[in-house]
Amino acid sequence: MSLQQHELNSVIPDLRTLSLERLAELGDSALAHSIALYRERLKETGVPLSSFNARI
């Protein structure tokens, strides 16, 4: 990857302008990929889901 690229697309869905009403109506599939990635990353990089990574 080059730092010259204009934009880097992240794995976080942009929900800033989504109303909570609409968020509740979203099915499981719309965010499933991002949620799975988030859960996986936390497990794989050693940050326990159940407690804080309080020390480096």
Partner 1 sequence: MITTHSLSAGSFSELAEGTGDRVVVRELREAQLSKHMMLLHVVAGAAAGIDPQTPETDAFSAGYQLLSQVQAADPAVVARLLGLPHIGSWAHDCLACLDNGSPPDFGYLAAAAVSAAIQAGLRFEVDVPVRGGRVPLPGLGCLAVPGADEWVRLSSDGARLQAGEHIEVACAALIPDADSVPATPHWEGTPLVRAEADGQSWEVLLEIADRYLDRYALPMLTILPPAEVANWRQRIQSAWELLVRQHGWAAGSIGEGVSVLVPLVPRSDLDSATSPAAFGAIATSLPPSVVSMAETLIHEFQHNKLSGLMDMLPLIEPSGERGYAPWREDPRPMAGLLQGVYAFAGIVHFWDVQRHIKTAPDDVLRANVLYERWRLTIEFVTDTLLGHGVLTPTGVSFVTALRERGRRGESGPVPAEAIEIAREVALDNWLTWQLRHTALDAAGVAGLAAAFRRGEPSGRQQLPAAWIDDDTRKIDSMTRSRLLNLRYQEPQRYRELTAEEIPELAAADVHLIRGDASAAVAAYREGLVAEPDPVAWIGLALAVHRLPADPARPVLTEQLPLLFELHACLAGQGVHADPLDVVAWLA
| Residue ranges binding partner 1 (CB under 8 A) | 1-16, 18-21, 23-24, 26, 28, 30-31, 34-35, 37-39, 41-42, 44-56
Find the shortest distance in angstroms from Cβ 22 to partner 1.
10
Tokens of 8: 């880097």
Report in angstroms how near the CB of residue 27 gets to partner 1 at its nearest.
9
27: part of which helix (H) or strand (E)? none
CB of 10 to partner 1, least distance (A): 3
Rg of the chain, C-alpha, whole Å: 15
| 47 contacts: CB under 8 Å, gap ≥ 6 | 53
